Amino acid sequence: MHDIRPRERERALLLGLTVPRSKHLATDFSMQELAQLADTAGAEVIESIIHTRAKIDPAYFIGRGKAEFLAQVVAEKHVDVVIFDDDLSPGQANNLEELFQAKVIDRSGLILDIFARRARTKEARTQVELAQLEYLLPRLAGQWTHFSRHAGGIGLRGPGETQLEVDRRMVRTRIAHLGKELQRLDRQRQVRRQHRAGMFKVALVGYTNAGKSTLLNALTKSEVFVEDRLFATLDPSVRALRPGDNGLTKDLGQILAIDTVGFIRKLPHHLVASFKSTLEEAREGNLLLHVIDITHPDFEQHIATVREVLQDLGLGEYPVLHVFNKIDALAETGLLARVRREYAPAVMISAGRRMFLEELLRGILAFAAADLIELEVALPVRESATIARIHRLAHVVQRRYDDDRVILQLRARKAAAVQIRHLVEHAVEELAVEP
């Protein structure tokens, strides 16, 4: 038993493990990212260590001998929390806490803690709580005693603080309730999406801290919250490019830009699943703007990570425009020609300094124009509800009447045209079966 004296910032020791032939290798870049995550969560990183061994130890992850040595380091440096760069099993976390006499959390726990701090909307808070409870559930057996040693802090916010005394049955009940609540919120979101059905939507995706929110503000003249930290934005934001601005014309209709939560390396699948409804805002996009921080030494690995997550979400075949950001801070200007060639179509910008946004806008408008098609539909005049829905889905270029029919010449998005044809077919079928 031990107590943690309250501090403004907990003292953290970071640990990474490199194992030959392992998919997730600890690297300097990975550990630097872990340090950024720890800083975002409010910790003071006092040391970062990468350990190499032949294989993962099932009981202590890094091996008992190494763990005993690090226990001395933890005591000497008054470490409050030891953060691992990979996920630990419940048994490994328990064994290490007993040995270190300090709090032990893994990468998933750290990311969840940040999510708990960043969530603002009801949906995001519900998703965070669900993900935290699913993370804690397999760790409940025999865990309450060692959890109770700690005075809250990193890894124990939200349900981590308030649910310590509940048993498995109560947690499962809460998980089921949260799942139903998310389904209800998803139905509400579907209704809101229906109003955007006929609009061209640009979804901003990318690695966390690549500059997506800054770009959203630059494109739409908005003031979405921006901070130079990982996961500064958790809740999706939707803003409009206004007709008449930046070469946008009424012929193209309204264009919406959708900001989404950033991706990150080693993001466990259960976290992706918990935030799928938030990430699915990207599914609404007719075009994905993949925003990339070209100044990051590991930016190509970031690109690969984002592509992998998009593939998991079923977005691997969506049209993508690569947006290489922060070129004003790039020392190696010769890199621009290579990435423009290798990642075509691509544009080079600085969202923070509003540099070369015109080229990006031209690219967006070109995609928007290519997504428009012309079609003509004929409906009975009395199908007023269907006609009203078609007006919401498309721009009516011309309307003429032929006896009891109205003939509409339309300009619509390809996805909206599919819905319009379905509406017309359904109305005609209903008319055919009437007595």
Extract the tokens encoding 251. Answer: 């012929």
Token representation of residue 36: 């950024």
- Mean pLDDT over 363-373 rounds to 90
Q: Where do the domains of the chain lie?
A: 10-162, 196-369, 372-433
Q: Is the pLDDT of residue 99 over 70?
A: yes
> Do 344 and 324 contact (CB within 8 A), yes or no?
no
Residues shown for the chain: 435
Average pLDDT, the chain: 82
Query: How high is the pLDDT of residue 410?
Result: 92
pLDDT band at 138 (very low <50, low <70, confident <90, very high): confident
> Measured over all CA atoms, what is the biggest interatomic distance in the chain, rounded to whole angstroms?
91
**pLDDT given at position 11:** 95
- Of the listed ranges 73-77, 182-186, 323-327, 350-354, the least confidently predicted one is 182-186
196-369: in CATH 2.40.10.10: no
Residue 253: predicted pLDDT = 72
Domain 10-162 indexed as CATH 3.30.360.10: no
Weakest-pLDDT range from 87-101, 108-122, 174-188, 223-237: 223-237
Is residue 392 a contact partner of residue 195, using CB atoms and an 8 Å limit? yes
Tell me if 196-369 shares its fold with 372-433.
no
> Which residues, 6 or more positions from 39, have their beta carbon under 8 angstroms from its beta carbon?
45, 229
pTM of the model: 0.78
Q: 143-171 burial, b for 16+ CB within 10 Å, e for fewer?
A: beebbeebeebbbbbbbbeebbebeeeeb
| pLDDT confidence tier of residue 28, bands split at 50, 70 and 90 | confident
| Residue located via tokens 């943690």 | 4
Average pLDDT over residues 401-405: 88
User: Which residue has better confidence, 269 or 129?
Assistant: 129
Collapsed DSSP state (helix, strand, coil) of residue 206: strand
Least confident of 89-93, 267-271, 321-325, 337-341: 267-271
Cα first-last separation, the chain? 81
Quick one: fold of 372-433?
Ribosomal Protein S8; Chain: A, domain 1 (3.30.1370)
Structure-block tokens of residue 271: 């976290």
d(CA 74, CA 346): 47
pLDDT of residue 66: 95
